[in-house]
Structure 1
Amino acid sequence: MATRPPRQTSSTSISTARSRARRGGALALLTALALTGCSFADDGGGDFGDGDFVDDGCTSVVVATSSEKVNMLDELADAFKESPEHDALDECATVRPINVSSGDATRFLTSGEDWPDEDTRRWPVMWSPASTVWTDRVAAAASASLVGEPESFTHTPVVFGVPETMAKALGYPGTDIGITDFEALCQDPDGWASVGKPIWGSFKISKTNPNTSTTGLSAILMQSYEASGKQADLTAADVAASAEFSRVFEECVIHYGDTTGKVLNTLYDETQNGAGGSGYVSAVALEETSLLNYNQGNPDSHTVQPGETLTPPKEKLVAVYPSGGSMWSDNPITVLGADWVTGVQAEAGAAFAAFLQTDAAQQILPEYGFRPLDASVPLGDLFTAEYGVDPAGPAVTLPKPAVDVVSAAIDQWTQIRKPSSVLEVIDISGSMDEEIGDGRSKLDGAIEGAQSTLGHFRSSDEVGVWAFTTGVSSAAGENIVVLRDVSPLASDREAVDSSLDDLRFADREGTPLYDAIAAAYDEMTARAEPGRINAIVVLSDGQDTDSTMSLDSLIARIGSTSGEGGEDSPVRIFPIAYGEGADTSALQRIAEATGGQWFDASDAAKIDLVFASVINNF
């Protein structure tokens, strides 16, 4: 059997370490880009180097899969090499999982264009999104032949992860808890005080963006089921009738994450540092498998190395299986009917899909926190109350609605999602003139990335744009240029585009990063309102060189309201570390001080994708 070099992967449970140790293998965990699940970047894995695709003499079968399954499929790929299904092939086959978010893959496949990766070796032969909701959308929007015949091989329910202490305040585990209970806490101005816990402040929910995330999509469908009182046969009319219920529910959202891993990382860090996490979020919509990883001390579901020690959180999350029912991520796999898939690859892919249905494959799934389709396969030690789950849950399974219903739910969310007030603050110091390898300068990439985000915002959302360097001034202060005051975007998209283009001709000198962030924070806290996502997006490509304020002073200033309970109108900061020279440590501290998230754009050429990932939060 041909030997593969180590694979860079992203998502797993603690069992990875045990599995890798048994096989005597070791994986190289490399620094990752924090994007929204493209094949060349992800939320916990990263670029796959050329070495991973070295010709080993076998047919290469690339599987584009949602991030939480990459590592599991890697082990299944190894087991496939030893299976009768592989032996029956005329030539050997090597299955290579890569991470592509379900929503992104859907968009790529329905575009009618080639797969957006310059290296054709990484073009997928197979696709395994988290749910057949996505394969149905491609079949409807493009063609059924493109997605072949998807077949589920494992599943995991969508639950709400709640810190155990908070769950007990709601009656867990003896009391059924439903989405209606969460909605009531959202609607009640007393928040947690309504159940006798005033120190916890308002009830806060974290959800992912349904345009790119299966969990986010399942959550909005579960809301419509709950509002309609149905447990089957959801219609587009039901979705329309649930608009007000869902709008209230959305008011509790802290921000729309591009991945649950980033939210769980922030919660874990706050918990370990003694804050308990209650001031950050009260409930997280996530898949059961992600909750299992979190409770083992792997909040971002990274690849656990042999010998690596994980530290469980001080406060575990428990799975609330909503009393009205849960959607399941049914995790299909299919051979794509794309032009680039050869007959030999299709045959090998079909053999791998058949292997995944076998007992040998199904036995591997629980080690990674996934439930086998075969109910006779033991779930093992992970699926216990010790790790926050109930192997008997959920009591009610909500069926996948028809494609038109799913589309209606996504369209409705676009209109009722929590409104945003966002100030983009862009570094225009001298180093932004550096080339990024694709014919653009760093500044070109930043401008185009910022411009590409404008279509995401509704006309009622507030958007402002500042730039900072030394030697300039404006009404906002020294070293700041105001391109657009924070105000409703309305019909100003073209004007904002033009203002961003003007940055190409601006003077570019020093980097007063901390002073600029402090000024932006003062501006946004003065105008922040409850019921909005109040946020600052900061892009910087270097170290602070010219501020009058120190980093510690800035952290003390912006972190003063992030304690337990927090404020009703928090302002969160989302920094982008742009290029290899960016001060990632400082930017990460700034994000954590406000309950925001930082994004790694060390590969500056992919700044457009990073901006898209950031904007998914709003």
Structure 2
Amino acid sequence: MAPVPRRTAALSRIPSTTRRGAKTGFALTIAAAVTIGLGACTPGDGGDFGDGGDFADDGCTSVVVATSSEKVNMLDALAKAFKESPEHEALAECATVRPVNVSSGDATRFLTAGGDWPEEDTRRWPTLWSPASTVWTERVAAAASPALVGEPVSFTHTPVVFGMPETMAKALGWPDAEIGISDLEALCQDPAGWGSVGKPIWGSFKISKTNPNTSTTGLSAILMQSYEASGKTADLTAEDVAAAEEFSRVFEECVIHYGDTTGKVLTTLYDETQNGAGGSGYVSAVALEETSLLNYNQGNPDSHTVQPGETLTPPQEKLVAIYPSGGSMWSDNPVTVLGADWVTPEQHTAGEAFVEFLQTAQAQAILPEYGFRPLDASVPLGDLFTEEYGVDPAGPAVTLPRPDVAVVSAAIDQWTQIRKPSSVLEVIDISGSMDEQIGDGRTRLDGAIEGAQSTLGHFRSTDEVGMWAFTTDVESSAGKNLLVLRDVSPLGSEGEALATSVDDLRYATRGGTPLYDAIAVAYDEMVERAEPGRINAIVVLSDGEDTDSTISIDSLIAKISGSAGEGGGDSPVRIFPIAYGEGADTTALQRIAEATGGQWFDASDAAKIDLVFASVINNF
């Protein structure tokens, strides 16, 4: 079976066949159940907004379908097949379907916010929406308008599983033993961690989950936890969710950090295994969709577009799918024609034809080639759905139904309160190079300041937050070349005061860039105070152009790599750098992130800075 190709481009340019409509009549504010406490919207299940793909005007009606990242390439193939279908032939004029990547959670917020689609280029505005789960269309219908999401119809599905390195899964009795979420929770709760099953060298049990506000997988995982705690396989209620609070709290304590995409976690795991580091020090189990696990095992951990001539290298150790014995939820992947006023009659008609085509035998036969299960049980799954690729075509044994909207909202609200607490030190570069423009009238420092301020609303009062700045010729209690705006401590009600202090950095002294020295001191500070029960992290906001450090990049990497090996320690400190400006030294910042099991983020495009910050903060 050839590797599953993917596209990572988002909201790519398309011919203009749409019109800029007046503000739509649905709600003008985002419902509380949908927000994450940030003003910015985030890139989601696997990508962000960007150009890509061939969107040349071909004279046909352009039909954009906003979809979760895992389906972009599959929908490309389905769009090509649609051109040759009877459904397309029946149209009065030709139509071209163009999939673009928008996470399910992001699209939900965009649609419930009211008004136009948040893209300047109207050619990118969607006619169709295909989130990963009907949960999202139901939330829009409840928070905005049922007419806006039309009549969603599922056309494919994939179960939510826990992917584990094969060696680790075998230590739990896989493939013969049944493994449930309660078994994973017991490993979380046991101070011995992996030692409780005879593998003390592996250290504590670590889980990766995505943020349920933006990710279908993250949302399904918290619902599956409530199902497990209640002992139910159907009819989950808000009362059941409330009763599961302590069970879920223990489960969250295993989380290494949250995020908006499993692809970034899988890429870190993949890189570690390819470099001979194993990966057990980073994560023990990843909540993900079966289709993402299939991609990983073929050597495509981030589900990117496989380019012509590109060769994928399978991981040194594959992940195997644990289908929880208590049951799995499925991502049912609906598709619907939007009732937005920017959708023209021609687009609406063509969109309906494509939705109809997706139910046909011709379309269903394409799905397994891309790691998705067809709804038509007569369609063979093929060679991809085999033990060789870590999956069981007969799994899961139990299907957990999707709860109603009120239960989903209760689960998200509960997660907001019980998610693993954070201890985060934000370190801001205020050197002279940060005065360079970023293309929208702001400087790099303006973007960093505004981004740092935007993160503060996400943290709870009990989360620990600190803020430092660095440049040459300054000094503070943290040492030479460092300014302390706030020591790491519980945020309490000081968010507004800290935002004001950060704003004062606009008038601070500008000097050189001792980036590596600043990170080294910040790392020592956070290691000294790190606790097993928290997500201990450093967020670095810099252009990455070190000019004045006494420590070299190689020495810094050696210093901060200590907790990335086998076992990994119970309270690792991970670093999340954000690269500013087109000239940013992204290579150095990427090395720093990878050395600690963190992630680096690219904010070189001024238009995406707010999105990037929201993506970063989803980890905490």
Q: TM over 0.5, yes or no?
A: yes
Matched AA of 1:69: K
2:297 alignment partner in structure 1 = 295
1:156 alignment partner in structure 2 = 158
1:22 alignment partner in structure 2 = none
Matched AA of 2:51: F
| TM-aligned CA deviation for residue 446 of structure 1 | 1.2
Q: How does 1:401-412 map to 2 (within 5 A)?
A: 401-412=403-414
The size of the alignment, in residue pairs, is 593
Q: Distance in 2 between matches of 1:138 and 1:41?
A: 17
1:433 alignment partner in structure 2 = 435
1:563 alignment partner in structure 2 = 565
Structure 1 consecutive aligned stretches of length 4 or more whose deviation exceeds 3 Å: 27-30, 36-46, 51-54
Q: Distance in 2 between matches of 1:299 and 1:277?
A: 14
> CA offsets, 1:136-191, max 9 Å, x none?
00000001000000000000000000000000000000000000000000000000
Q: Distance in 2 between matches of 1:71 and 1:300?
A: 13
| TM-aligned CA deviation for residue 13 of structure 1 | 7.7
1:48 alignment partner in structure 2 = 51
Corresponding position: 1:383 with 2:372: no
Q: Distance in 2 between matches of 1:499 and 1:533?
A: 24
2:28 alignment partner in structure 1 = none
Q: Which residue among 274, 288, 305 is the counterpart of 1:286?
A: 288
| TM-aligned CA deviation for residue 298 of structure 1 | 0.7
Q: Distance in 1 between matches of 2:245 and 2:169?
A: 27
| TM-aligned CA deviation for residue 39 of structure 1 | 10
| TM-aligned CA deviation for residue 234 of structure 1 | 0.1
Q: Percent identity?
A: 83
| TM-aligned CA deviation for residue 40 of structure 1 | 8.6
| TM-aligned CA deviation for residue 543 of structure 1 | 1.3
Q: Distance in 2 between matches of 1:42 and 1:393?
A: 23
Corresponding position: 1:127 with 2:145: no
1:312 alignment partner in structure 2 = 314
Corresponding position: 1:257 with 2:246: no
Q: How does 1:7-406 map to 2 (within 5 A)?
A: 14-16=3-5, 43-44=46-47, 47-48=50-51, 52-406=54-408
CA contact (8 A) 1:13 1:301 kept: no
In structure 2, the CA distance between the partners of 1:211 and 1:264, relative to structure 1 (3 Å rule), is same
1:498 alignment partner in structure 2 = 500
CA contact (8 A) 2:128 2:337 kept: yes
| TM-aligned CA deviation for residue 534 of structure 1 | 0.2
1:574 alignment partner in structure 2 = 576
Q: Distance in 2 between matches of 1:197 and 1:554?
A: 31
CA contact (8 A) 2:426 2:467 kept: yes
Matched AA of 1:139: A
Q: How does 1:455-494 map to 2 (within 5 A)?
A: 455-494=457-496
TM-score by structure 1 length?
Answer: 0.93
In structure 2, the CA distance between the partners of 1:155 and 1:456, relative to structure 1 (3 Å rule), is same
| TM-aligned CA deviation for residue 37 of structure 1 | 12
TM-score by structure 2 length?
Answer: 0.93
| TM-aligned CA deviation for residue 285 of structure 1 | 0.1
Q: Which residue among 500, 509, 512 is the counterpart of 2:511?
A: 509
Matched AA of 1:305: Q
> CA offsets, 1:415-446, max 9 Å, x none?
00000000011111112222222222221111
Q: Distance in 1 between matches of 2:372 and 2:451?
A: 37
Range 302-311 or range 391-400, more displaced: 302-311
CA contact (8 A) 2:328 2:400 kept: yes
Q: Distance in 2 between matches of 1:426 and 1:457?
A: 18
CA contact (8 A) 1:13 1:298 kept: no
CA contact (8 A) 1:156 1:371 kept: yes
Q: Distance in 2 between matches of 1:13 and 1:401?
A: 37
| TM-aligned CA deviation for residue 41 of structure 1 | 8.9
| TM-aligned CA deviation for residue 305 of structure 1 | 2.0
Q: Distance in 2 between matches of 1:454 and 1:29?
A: 29
In structure 2, the CA distance between the partners of 1:389 and 1:457, relative to structure 1 (3 Å rule), is same
1:20 alignment partner in structure 2 = none
Q: Distance in 2 between matches of 1:503 and 1:422?
A: 19
1:24 alignment partner in structure 2 = none
Q: Distance in 2 between matches of 1:80 and 1:243?
A: 47
Q: Distance in 2 between matches of 1:54 and 1:612?
A: 32
| TM-aligned CA deviation for residue 275 of structure 1 | 1.2
CA contact (8 A) 2:45 2:262 kept: no
Q: Distance in 1 between matches of 2:292 and 2:389?
A: 11
CA contact (8 A) 1:13 1:304 kept: no
1:417 alignment partner in structure 2 = 419
3-state SS of 2:257 partner: strand
| TM-aligned CA deviation for residue 562 of structure 1 | 1.7
CA contact (8 A) 1:204 1:283 kept: yes
3-state SS of 2:302 partner: coil
3-state SS of 2:81 partner: helix
Matched AA of 1:268: Y
| TM-aligned CA deviation for residue 307 of structure 1 | 2.8
Q: Distance in 2 between matches of 1:163 and 1:592?
A: 19
| TM-aligned CA deviation for residue 28 of structure 1 | 11
1:8 alignment partner in structure 2 = none
| TM-aligned CA deviation for residue 265 of structure 1 | 0.4
**Unpaired runs of at least 5, structure 2:** 13-38
CA contact (8 A) 2:159 2:331 kept: yes
Compute the RMSD of aligned alpha carbons.
Answer: 1.9
> CA offsets, 1:324-343, max 9 Å, x none?
00000000000000111111
Matched AA of 2:597: G
3-state SS of 2:100 partner: strand
> CA offsets, 1:351-378, max 9 Å, x none?
0000101111111100000000001101
3-state SS of 2:188 partner: helix
> CA offsets, 1:92-124, max 9 Å, x none?
111111111000100010011211100011011
Q: Distance in 1 between matches of 2:347 and 2:43?
A: 21
> CA offsets, 1:198-232, max 9 Å, x none?
00000000000000000000000000000000000
Q: Distance in 2 between matches of 1:28 and 1:491?
A: 39
| TM-aligned CA deviation for residue 196 of structure 1 | 0.4
Q: Distance in 2 between matches of 1:429 and 1:54?
A: 43
CA contact (8 A) 2:253 2:533 kept: yes
CA contact (8 A) 2:43 2:615 kept: no
2:595 alignment partner in structure 1 = 593
| TM-aligned CA deviation for residue 601 of structure 1 | 1.4
3-state SS of 1:56 partner: coil
Corresponding position: 1:528 with 2:530: yes
